[in-house]
Amino acid sequence: MSYDIYAEKIILNYEHPHNKGILKGANTHFKEYNQVCGDEIEVYIIINNKKIKDVKFIGRGCAISMASASMITDFIKGKSIKEIEQYNGDIIKNILGIDPGPVRMKCATLSLRAIKEAIERYKIKK
């Protein structure tokens, strides 16, 4: 795919985000802030049999952070929590299809950090 197609995909996910909202029955959630700009994303997750059964998010942020949240929440459904614990910025670059660069990486990984922390909280409760 060309760079333009990836950029278009990011804009589409920003304007029409998937999995937006509060998830009823979530058994873990976490709100993460981007320390640089103060934007925030809160994720709600249902974990069942050590896998992501469902996930939604709320919050505000720039196009990269919102598009990334939309795409990563689609991506992790059905994945095991063990697998997600290994994810880092590289998975976000793959999902977005571009390297957002060092400054925008904090925006791009905001939702992933929230997801990983929510999983951590879930494990502590168990």
In the block, which residue shows the tokens 């049999």? 49
Would you say 55 or 66 has its CB closer to ligand FES?
66
Question: 74 by DSSP, 3-state: which?
Answer: helix
The answer to whether residues 46 and 25 touch, using CB atoms and an 8 Å cutoff, is yes
Q: Which stretch binds ligand FES (CB under 6 A): 17-25, 31-39, 73-81, 85-93?
A: 31-39
| 32 contacts ligand FES (rule: CB under 6 A) | no
The site map against ligand FES for 39-78 (x = CB under 6 A) is x---------------------xx-xx-------------
Tokens for 7, please give them: 């950029």
Q: What is the dihedral of CA 41, 54, 75, 79, to 10 degrees?
A: 120
| 110 contacts ligand FES (rule: CB under 6 A) | yes
Tokens for 57, please give them: 């998010």
| 7 contacts ligand FES (rule: CB under 6 A) | no
**Which stretches does DSSP call E strand in 1-126?**
28-33, 40-48, 51-60
# chain residues binding ligand FES, by CB under 6 A: 9
Residues in contact with ligand FES by the rule CB under 6 A:
34, 37, 39, 61-62, 64-65, 107, 110
